[in-house]
Amino acid sequence: MQNTDTTKYIIHGKINADGVIEKPDIVGAIFGQTEGLLGADLDLRDLQKTGRIGRIEVVVNSKSGKTKGNIFIPSSLDRVESSILAAAMETIDRVGPCNAKIEITQIEDVRATKRKHIVDRAKLILTTMFDENLPESQEISDEVRESVRIEEMQYYGKNKIPCGPNVVDSDAIIVVEGRADVLNLLRYGIKNAVCVGGTNVPPEISELTRKKTVTAFTDGDRGGELIVKELLQVADIDYIARAPDGKTVEDLVQREIVRALRQKVPTEQAVDMYSLRDNSSNAGDSSKRKEKKQADTKRLSSAKVSKRNPREAVTVKKPVKAPIKPATKKAIDNQQKDQKPTEASSKNQALALNDTFNAHVSDLSGTLTARLLDDKEDIIIEMPVRDLVNTLKEHSGNIKSIIFDGVITQRILDIAADKGIENLVGAKVGNIAKTPATVNVISSNNLIN
């Protein structure tokens, strides 16, 4: 009999016979034709007497003069011995008066089956029998912390818009889509978030964004893109951050939230990145409002400086220019000769830049991708435009040129100057207040085709 306590493996085999045979015929053939084949240590009769081989089970079915069936041999031998025994079964070629063929199809590990049963049963026990027990200490801490943060949620305006407790007092706020997004940010200690509740942006949000630095943080799906478009029309947005593709803000963990907010891009660049060109007029209005804010800030700074240092606020006389003597014809001719080589060299330099970068510009057009080139014009690295700033900060190699399908901003230009980069080629140039003399700023729209 099979000892279920010691069985490790079950050998599965199939038998096909050209005739009608029965179970005793097959068992007899197995014992008879393997006797002495494998030596005394692996003799089936001795193995069965010592309990190392269990009872051989055979299930057969005869039809149209043919017999087919399955053979099951329990074994407590190790893997090697069980494999040898299984291979010996396939040497049997006759059962009684009939030609037969045995084929081993599987060696089942009984312990693995038991382990699977244990895992499935443990899952069921864990889900059904521990519901009424008290939670662990960490679960208690998380539950208390979650309840406190839910209590921290406040409501803004007459429409009772869910927001964090620091939205009114903070100089910078984060605009998200729904109440669950605000709760998720509160869970990780971000208390200056306010939601718009879908695509219908409340007027209180529009008014609030005109007084603060605003980052729109939306889901990484089509709905998030539509909300960005509407916010650009009705609100004053400074930066745009998106969740990873296919994910929502309410499902992000702390690491993903921090990464997404660090990778936020200015509105002018986001218009190009997220194909929001139809809202370019609204983005222009936003840029005008920002320029007005900057101008007001400069006037306030000037007023503060004048108030602190009254002695420095003196009238500066314009220098008197010396009278310019009429130039002689010879001097004019010499000046024109000096200027002609300079103009020719500038034109040759522009043509060289076009020949070098036109191929890269064509490849990157519409891909929102950036390439970093070395001094031999070979590609060092290629990445999405949203990762360009972080890559430039972390990269320490020799970068000569940057070509990307995006807007050249002051931030990217300053980093390029610090890194000693000579050429900066973008789809177009944004609001640049100061251009370093060491960087050639080129718009791909102006390249010679």
Q: What is the pLDDT of residues 337-353, one digit of tens each?
A: 444 444 444 444 444 45
The fold of 344-446 is Cytidine Deaminase; domain 2 (3.40.140)
Classify residue 319 by its DSSP letter.
P
Pairwise CA distance, residues 238 & 216, whole Å? 8
Q: With the CA atoms of 352, 357, 362 and 364 taken in that order, what torsion angle do they form, in degrees rounded to the nearest 10?
A: -170
**pLDDT (0 to 100) of residue 273:** 66
* Span(s) in the chain for CATH 3.30.70.260: 9-112
For the whole model, what pTM was predicted? 0.36
- Dihedral over Cα of 224, 226, 231, 232: its sign: positive
Does the structure show a pLDDT above 80 at 214? yes
Per-residue pLDDT of 405-431, as tens digits, reads 888 888 888 888 888 898 999 988 887
Tell me which of 334 and 259 has the higher pLDDT.
259
Pairwise CA distance, residues 414 & 441, whole Å? 12
* End-to-end Cα separation, the chain, in angstroms: 88
7-31 burial string, b = 16+ CB within 10 Å, else e?
A: bbbbbbbebebeebbeeebbbebbe
Q: State the average pLDDT for the chain.
A: 78
Residue spans of beta strands (DSSP E) within 134-256 = 154-156, 161-163, 172-176, 193-195, 213-218, 239-242
The band of 357, judged by pLDDT with boundaries at 50, 70 and 90, is: confident
Does the structure show a pLDDT above 80 at 110? yes
Candidate CATH numbers 3.30.70.640, 1.20.210.10, 3.30.70.20, 3.40.1360.10; the one for domain 141-283: 3.40.1360.10
Compute the average pLDDT of residues 64-72. Answer: 92
C-beta atoms surrounding 142 within 10 Å: 13
Q: With the CA atoms of 279, 282, 288 and 290 taken in that order, what torsion angle do they form, in degrees rounded to the nearest 10?
A: -90
Superfamily (CATH) of domain 9-112: ACT domain (3.30.70.260)
Pairwise CA distance, residues 180 & 219, whole Å? 12
Compute the average pLDDT of residues 127-145. Answer: 65
**pLDDT (0 to 100) of residue 321:** 42
Compute the average pLDDT of residues 1-8. Answer: 61
Pairwise CA distance, residues 147 & 231, whole Å? 31
Per-residue pLDDT of 167-211, as tens digits, reads 888 889 999 998 889 988 988 888 899 998 876 788 888 888 888
Quick one: 206 exposed, middle or buried, by C-beta within 10 A (0-12, 13-18, 19+)?
A: middle
Share of the chain above pLDDT 90, in %: 18
Per-residue pLDDT of 272-331, as tens digits, reads 665 554 444 444 455 555 554 455 444 444 433 333 343 333 333 334 444 444 444 444
* Span(s) in the chain for CATH 3.40.1360.10: 141-283
Pairwise CA distance, residues 167 & 148, whole Å? 18
- Give the residue from 359, 374, 357 showing the smallest Cα distance to 425: 357
Share of the chain above pLDDT 70, in %: 74
* Span(s) in the chain for CATH 3.40.140.20: 344-446
Does the structure show a pLDDT above 90 at 11? yes
Tell me which of 214 and 336 has the higher pLDDT.
214
**pLDDT (0 to 100) of residue 43:** 87
- Dihedral over Cα of 271, 274, 277, 283: its sign: negative
Residue 264 CB contacts under 8 Å (≥ 6 apart), including other chains: 215, 217, 239, 240, 241
243-261 burial string, b = 16+ CB within 10 Å, else e?
A: beeebbbbebeeeebeebe
Pairwise CA distance, residues 46 & 38, whole Å? 12
Does the structure show a pLDDT above 90 at 158? no
C-beta atoms surrounding 221 within 10 Å: 14
- Give the residue from 392, 401, 399 showing the smallest Cα distance to 353: 401
**pLDDT (0 to 100) of residue 133:** 53
